[in-house]
Amino acid sequence: MHRRTRIRLAQLLCLALALTAGVTVTGSARAAALLPYQDPSLPVATRVDDLLARMTLDEKLGQMTQAERGSVSTSDITTYRLGSILSGGGSSPSPNNATSWANMYDTFQQAALATPLGIPIIYGVDAVHGHNNVYGATIFPHNIGLGATRDQALVQQIGQAVATEVTGTGLDWDFAPCLCVARNDRWGRTYESFGEVPAIPNAMTAFVTGLQGSTLGGPTSVLATAKHYVGDGGTTGGVDQGNTQLSEAELRAIHLPPFQAAIARGVGSVMISYSSWNGVKLHGHQYLISTVLKGELAFTGFVVSDWNGIDQIDGQGGFTATEVRTAINAGIDMVMVPQAWKNFITLLRSEVQAGRVTMARIDDANRRILTKKFELALFERPLTDRAYTGTVGSAAHRALARQAVAKSQVMLKNSANLLPLARDNMRIFVAGKNADDIGNQSGGWTISWQGSSGNITPGTTILHGIRNAVGSTSTVTYNRRGTGINSSYDVAIAVVGETPYAEGQGDRSGSMALDREDLRAIATLRNSGVPVIVLLVSGRPMDIATALPGWDALIASWLPGTEGDGVADVLFGAVAPTGTLPVTWMASASQQPINDGDGKTPLFPLGFGLTY
Sign of torsion over alpha carbons 562, 568, 574, 580: positive
**How far apart are the C-alpha atoms of 433 and 484, rounded to whole Å?**
16
Q: What is the largest CA-CA distance in the chain?
A: 100
Least gap, CB of 556 to ligand BGC (angstroms): 24
Least gap, CB of 171 to ligand BGC (angstroms): 13
Among 90, 130, 531, 561, binds ligand BGC (CB under 6 A): 90
Closer Cβ to ligand BGC, 65 or 591, answer by number: 65
**How far apart are the C-alpha atoms of 543 and 508, rounded to whole Å?**
12
- Stretch near ligand BGC under the rule CB under 6 A, chosen from 2-10, 83-91, 293-301, 455-463: 83-91
118 Cβ neighbours under 8 A, 6+ residues apart: 112, 379
- Torsion of the alpha carbons at 188, 193, 198 and 201, rounded to the nearest 10: -170
- Stretch near ligand BGC under the rule CB under 6 A, chosen from 87-95, 153-161, 539-547, 571-579: 87-95
Query: 298 and 291 in contact (C-beta within 8 Å)?
Result: no
Among 37, 123, 175, 429, binds ligand BGC (CB under 6 A): 175
Among 62, 83, 88, 393, binds ligand BGC (CB under 6 A): 88
Position 89 contacts ligand BGC (CB under 6 A): yes
- Stretch near ligand BGC under the rule CB under 6 A, chosen from 32-40, 89-97, 363-371, 409-417: 89-97
Site size for ligand BGC (CB under 6 A): 11
**Bond from prior residue into 593 cis (ω within 30 degrees of 0):** yes
**How far apart are the C-alpha atoms of 351 and 320, rounded to whole Å?**
11
**How far apart are the C-alpha atoms of 36 and 45, rounded to whole Å?**
11
Among 173, 307, 344, 388, binds ligand BGC (CB under 6 A): 307
- Stretch near ligand BGC under the rule CB under 6 A, chosen from 84-92, 129-137, 295-303, 345-353: 84-92
Least gap, CB of 183 to ligand BGC (angstroms): 17
User: Pairing relation of β-strands 243-244 and 276-277?
Assistant: parallel
User: What is the number of the residue whose Cβ is closest to ligand BGC?
Assistant: 88
**How far apart are the C-alpha atoms of 310 and 284, rounded to whole Å?**
8
Position 50 contacts ligand BGC (CB under 6 A): no
Residues with a catalytic annotation lie at 306, 503
**How far apart are the C-alpha atoms of 87 and 67, rounded to whole Å?**
9
Q: Which of residues 421-450 bind ligand BGC (CB under 6 A)?
A: 449
Count of CB atoms situated within 10 Å of the CB of 324: 26
Least gap, CB of 196 to ligand BGC (angstroms): 19
**How far apart are the C-alpha atoms of 560 and 441, rounded to whole Å?**
6
Least gap, CB of 227 to ligand BGC (angstroms): 6
Closer Cβ to ligand BGC, 68 or 490, answer by number: 68
Closer Cβ to ligand BGC, 105 or 551, answer by number: 105
Least gap, CB of 503 to ligand BGC (angstroms): 6
DSSP code at position 274? S
Query: 458 and 136 in contact (C-beta within 8 Å)?
Result: yes
Closer Cβ to ligand BGC, 50 or 306, answer by number: 306
Q: Which of residues 225-284 bind ligand BGC (CB under 6 A)?
A: 227
Among 165, 185, 196, 306, binds ligand BGC (CB under 6 A): 306
Least gap, CB of 224 to ligand BGC (angstroms): 12
Measured in whole angstroms, how far is the alpha carbon of residue 411 from the centre of its chain?
26
Among 50, 59, 126, 151, binds ligand BGC (CB under 6 A): 126
- From the DSSP assignment, how many helices (H) and strands (E) are in the chain? 20, 17
Closer Cβ to ligand BGC, 192 or 437, answer by number: 192
SS3 447: coil
- Stretch near ligand BGC under the rule CB under 6 A, chosen from 31-39, 53-61, 88-96, 150-158: 88-96
Q: Give the DSSP H/E element, type plus range, for residue 206.
A: helix 206-212
- Stretch near ligand BGC under the rule CB under 6 A, chosen from 86-94, 110-118, 209-217, 547-555: 86-94
As to burial, measured by CB atoms within 10 angstroms (0-12 exposed, 13-18 middle, 19+ buried), residue 320 is: middle
Closer Cβ to ligand BGC, 269 or 461, answer by number: 269
Position 93 contacts ligand BGC (CB under 6 A): no
Closer Cβ to ligand BGC, 212 or 403, answer by number: 212
> What residues form DSSP beta bridges with 453?
none
Query: 376 and 216 in contact (C-beta within 8 Å)?
Result: yes
SS3 475: strand
Binding site for ligand BGC (CB under 6 A): 88-91, 126, 175, 227, 306-307, 449, 503
